[in-house]
Amino acid sequence: MNTYGTRFRVTTYGESHGLAVGAIIDGCPSGMHIDFDAINCELVRRKGVGVETSARQEADRVEFLSGLKDGITLGTPIAFSIHNVDAHSDDYAKLEHCFRPGHADYTYYNKYGIRDHRGGGRASARETVARVVAGTIAKQLLSPIIICAEVDELGDGQTRGGIIKCRIEGVQAGIGEPVFGKLNASLAAAMMSIPSAIGFEMGAGFAAAKMSGEEYIDRWHEDGTTVTNHCGGVQGGISNGMPIEFRVAFHPVVTLPEPVDCLTEDGRLETVDVGGRHDRCHVLRTPVIVESMAALCLINYIL
């Protein structure tokens, strides 16, 4: 369940405060020059630079362990790791036996009976760094298809959520699968797998539910394009050649800057100043993760 994809398969690993995070990519075609600069560039986008992002600043040096010869893919598994160097695990000592509200502490504990409480362990957004590396390679394979995501709405308050809009251009008609393998269904799963994603909509989305059929219907031009794109470029699970458009809602950061009541393992509430270093607004860092997951989704339909 830590594997994404059927043809271009990415298996990720790593806890936030463990030795490393990384992944194995299996199914990448041979003979492709990896653009390492693009990977580093996207990792910088993910890290964010603004005042509202975490003070934890990882160097994020990617070490490729296999699958390449002189920077060219061999067709064999591409393993990479990124060592965690700027983790302050001591900040988390007070959380060893209690569960923060809004986090996955309690659910992991119930599932596994054990957890790495430091920095959110496997549930940390630190895990998305591997998605960005793999997603950037997928983007390169998808060229000249363009995937572009940006912040569409930002929430208010002391920690914030928001909505990311993503647009994919250049996908020809006929890409997708019917019934359970619908392209829009896979995009939904890909997006909802991003930490703190809480909603997904194609094209007109929730607003479409209030439209009449007459308003909603995307009418033809003679060249097979449509006047509107309310469906978001996918019909019956298969692309229609229009841009693929969707939005993803993210709930606000659930680590508050003030002390909160945590639940202890023995069922008491305990006020804890959670500390650690956290974003005020992760949504600013999220577009590149949305793009990466979109690329990982799409490449499995196109390879």
Identify the CA nearest to 190 among candidates 59, 296, 80: 296
Query: Is residue 243 classed exposed, middle or buried when 0-12, 13-18 and 19+ CB atoms within 10 A define those classes?
Result: middle
Q: 125 or 142, CB closer to its own copies? A: 125
Q: Can residue 144 be called a binding residue for its own copies (CB under 8 A)?
A: no
Instruction: Report the residue number, 44 or 156, with the smaller CB distance to its own copies.
Output: 156
Residues between 76 and 115 with contacts to its own copies, criterion CB under 8 A = 76-79, 81, 99, 101-104, 106-108, 110-115
- Residue 176 near its own copies by CB under 8 A: yes
Binding residues for its own copies restricted to 59-78, rule: CB under 8 A = 63-67, 69, 72, 74-78
Is position 244 an interface residue for its own copies (rule: CB under 8 A)?
Answer: no
Sign of the dihedral through C-alpha 206, 207, 208, 211: positive
Q: Which is nearer to its own copies, 86 or 153 (CB)?
A: 153
Angstrom CA distances, 76 to 66, 91, 172, 183, 204, stand at: 8, 40, 29, 27, 41
Contacts with its own copies in 2-41 (CB under 8 A)?
A: 2-4, 6, 9, 11-15, 18-24, 26-27, 30-31
> Segment near its own copies (CB under 8 A), from 40-48, 49-57, 133-141, 204-212?
204-212
Q: Which residues contact 107 (CB under 8 A, 6 or more apart)?
A: none
b/e map 260-299, b = 16+ CB within 10 Å: bebeeeeeeeeeeebbbebbbbbbbbbbbbbbbbbbbbbb
Residues in region 178-197 near its own copies by CB under 8 A: 178-182, 184-193, 195, 197
Instruction: Tell me how far, at minimum, the Cβ of 148 lies from its own copies, in Å.
Output: 20
